[in-house]
Chains A and B, each alone.
Chain A
Amino acid sequence: MRTDDLIAQLSDGLEPVKAGTVTRTLLAALALGLAGSVTVMLLAMGLRPDFHAAMASFGMWMKLAYTLAIALLGVWLVARAGRPGADMAKPILLLAAPVLAIALLAGLQMAAPGADMPGQVIGHSSRICAFLVILTALPSLVAGFWALRRLAPTRLGLAGAGAGLLAGGMGAFVYCFHCQEGAAAFVAIWYTLGIALTTGIGGFLGPRLLRW
C-alpha cells in the first residue's frame, strides 16, 4: 500500500479517544489482579487465625505499609513504561525509600536489648515465604501484562519488570493477611526476596510477551 493511502485510510473515520483511557486500563488491571491475588491467598493458604488481634499490631501495619509502598511504585512504573517517551527514573530511584526504611527498622529491632536476632530473621516460615509471595503475586502479574499489552511499552524488559514489581508488591500485601510473622528483619529479607524474584520473572517475560 502507498503511504499516502495509508494516511488517508487512518484519518478517515477517525474515532475520538476518551480521556483517561490509560488510567482506566490500569485501574481495571489493579482491581482484577487484587481480586485474583486475594482469591489465591484465601483458597491456597487461608486467612491468619489471629486476624483481629493482628490488625492491632505494629508488625502487621509495618508489613502492609512496606508492601503497599512497593506496589504503588510498581503501578507508577507500569504507567510510565506503557507510554512511549515517559521517563522511568523517578519510580525506580524512589524504590530505595521503602527498602531503606524497612532495613533501618530491622536494624533498630535487632539492636534492641534482649532481641532474639535469629528468631527475627528466620521466623517460622522463611523457607516458604518468598515462594508464597510469588504464588500470591501471579494473578496480579498476569493483570499487569494484560494492561501493558493494551498500552505501548517501548522498553520491554523494564516494562515487564515494572509489572513484576507491581505484582510482587501487591502479592506481598495480600500475603500479609496469611503470614503471621511480624519482625521487620523477616519482612526486609523474605518479603523483599519474593518481590525481587517476581520482578525478575516480569523482566524475563517482558521481551517475550510484550512485543507489539
Chain B
Amino acid sequence: MIAQEGQYRDWMLAALGGDAAAYRMLLAGLTRHLRGYYARRLDNGAAEDAVQETLIAIHTRRATYDPALPFTAWVYGIARYKLIDEYRRHKRRATVPLDEARDLFGHDEAQEAIARRDVSKLLDKLPPAKRQLVKDIKLDGVSVVDAAARTGLSESAVKVTVHRAIKTLGEGLEERDADR
C-alpha cells in the first residue's frame, strides 16, 4: 500500500462530491509526484507539459475513478498512459520503461531538488570553464561535437577535459564521504 493512498483517496472522494478545496489540495499534491516522475523520464519542457496534460486528464476523466479500487493506482495508470503518449508523439523510443505506481509516489519534487542541489554544489568545485563543459555534456545532453565548436577546443580535448573533471568530482565525493 502506498503511504499517500488514504489522504489522496479522501480528497478525491470529497472532490467527486464537489469539494473544490479538497480538489485543489489533491491536484497540488499530485503535481509534486508528477513533476518528479516526468522529470526523470522526459526533457525539461516536455516534463512540465506532461504534468499539465495529466492534470487535465485526471480532471476530465475523474468519473472513471472507482472508489472500490486504490486511488494511487488510478492516477499512476493515467500518468503512465500520458508518458507513453508523449514517447509515441516524439517517436523517441518504442519501448516503455518498466515501472510501477511506487515509482510515481515513491519520490517527489523535494527529493529531486535535493539531488539537483547536491550535484550543483559538487560542480561548484570545478573551475568555471570545466564546470560549463561538464554541465553541457553530462547534464544537458549537448553533443561533444557541439561543445567543441562552442569552446574552440578539439573533440578529443573536450572528452579528456570532461573525463578528468568527472574524476576530480569523484575524488571530491570520496573525500566528503570520508569526512562524515
A residues near B, CB below 8 A? Answer: 1, 3, 6-8, 10-18, 21-22, 82-86, 151-152, 154, 211-212
Contact = CB atoms under 8 A, between A and B. Distances in A.
Contacts of B70: 85
Contacts of B66: 22, 83, 86
A82 B15 contact: no
Interface residues of A: mostly helix, strand, loop or mixed? loop
B74 A83 contact: yes
A152 B78 contact: yes
Interface stretch (B50-58, B127-135, B167-175): B50-58
Contacts of B62: 17
Nearest to A13: B20
Interface of B: 15-21, 23-24, 27-28, 31, 48, 51-52, 55-57, 59, 61-66, 69-70, 73-78, 80-81, 85, 101
A86 B66 CA distance: 9
B69 A86 contact: yes
A152 B31 contact: no
Given A10-B59, A152-B61, 9 more contacts: A6-B52, A7-B28, A8-B24, A83-B66, A84-B76, A84-B77, A85-B75, A151-B61, A152-B81
Given A14-B20, A85-B69, A154 B81 contact: yes
A125 to B, nearest CB: 41
A83 B69 contact: yes
B81 A84 contact: yes
A84 B27 contact: no
A84 B66 CA distance: 9
Contact of A85 (B24, B31, B59, B77): B77
A151 B64 contact: yes
A15 B59 CA distance: 10
A3 B24 contact: no
A212 B101 CA distance: 21
Contacts of A212: 57, 61
Contact of A211 (B52, B63, B77, B85): B85
Contacts of A11: 20-21, 23-24, 27
Contacts of A18: 63
B141 to A, nearest CB: 24
Contact of B63 (A3, A8, A22): A22
Given A3-B48, A14-B15, A22 B78 contact: no
